[in-house]
């Protein structure tokens, strides 16, 4: 039995997210599984490193699947890219140990979020950034990021309901880079809760616009209440850049 690791890039604008649903033709996982099943002549299920939301994108999603085929990896990749939609690309295939699991063995992830920060929206950036017209103070947002970095209970920054699982996560780094009207935020951490980055972004934008102070981050950690944090920004500005493994 071979275990094949996949590095995947996709434009999620017209999909319902990563995870396979009843109508598999509208999810990234479903599209890839359908082509793999046709190619190998047997039902294939893939395991992703994690879900991405409807409309979100990936430059470095990782998944794996098991198969008994002796098909060459280059031929396999070329077949997939020939028959997958053009907004889903298999960048690399690699044979890995049988015990490798894309989700359980991931030790960290890097995400980007893009904000189009000017009064006039962009026709070309609309599917790949969030149009936020208010003036944003980078220094205020940077001060808030300093409070987010580290190990904290991020329950208040997630859409999770009651859960028995730990909501403690570590953010190693947050960076903010402005180029013209586009602001690029990056988040690197050991894991992220449901909607966590989108809520962190909503909170940072409200702080940057002067609606709340950077110190308010601390009170959200203390309360753990979702409604204390900022809005959940739309998904189209979110990219999964990289998944880290030991």
List, for residues 26-83, the tens digit of each pLDDT value: 999 999 999 999 999 999 999 999 999 999 999 999 999 999 999 999 999 999 999 9
Residue 118: Cβ within 10 Å count: 14
pLDDT of 26 reads 92
The verdict on whether 53 is a catalytic residue reads yes
Is 80 exceeded by the pLDDT of residue 23? no
Q: Which of 53, 70, 87, 137 is catalytic?
A: 53
Place of tokens 């002796």: 70
Please report the domains of the chain, with CATH numbers, ordered by start residue: 2-96 (3.30.70.580), 107-245 (3.30.70.660)
- Enter the DSSP assignment of 64: E
| Average pLDDT taken over every residue of the chain | 95
Distance of CA 234 to the CA centre of its chain: 13
pLDDT band at 100, cuts 50/70/90? very high
Whole-number Å distance between alpha carbons of 221 and 225: 8
pLDDT of 163 reads 74
Is 90 exceeded by the pLDDT of residue 24? no
β-partners of residue 239 are: 57, 112
pLDDT of 49 reads 97
pLDDT band at 161, cuts 50/70/90? confident
Whole-number Å distance between alpha carbons of 70 and 63: 19
């Amino acid at each position: 039995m071979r275990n094949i690791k996949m590095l995947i890039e996709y434009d999620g604008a017209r999909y319902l997210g990563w995870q396979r649903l009843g109508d598999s033709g509208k999810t990234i996982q479903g599209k890839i599984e359908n082509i793999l099943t046709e190619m190998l002549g047997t039902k294939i299920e893939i395991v992703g490193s994690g879900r991405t939301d409807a409309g979100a994108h990936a430059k470095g999603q990782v998944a794996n699947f098991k198969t008994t085929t002796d098909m060459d990896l280059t031929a396999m990749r070329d077949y997939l890219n020939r028959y997958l939609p053009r907004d889903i690309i298999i960048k690399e295939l690699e044979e890995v140990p049988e015990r490798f699991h894309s989700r359980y063995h991931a030790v960290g992830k890097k995400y980007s979020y893009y904000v189009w920060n000017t009064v006039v929206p962009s026709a070309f950036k609309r599917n790949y950034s969030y149009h936020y017209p208010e003036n944003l103070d980078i220094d205020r947002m940077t001060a808030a990021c300093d409070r987010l970095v580290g190990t904290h209970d991020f329950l208040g920054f997630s859409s999770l309901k009651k859960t028995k699982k730990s909501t403690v996560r570590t953010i190693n780094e947050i960076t903010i880079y402005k180029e013209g009207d586009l602001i690029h935020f990056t988040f690197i951490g050991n894991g992220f809760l449901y909607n966590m980055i989108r809520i962190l972004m909503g909170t940072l934008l409200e702080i940057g616009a002067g609606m709340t102070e950077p110190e308010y981050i601390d009170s959200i950690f203390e309360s753990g209440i979702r409604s204390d944090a900022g809005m959940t920004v739309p998904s189209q500005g979110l990219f999964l850049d990289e998944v880290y493994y030991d």
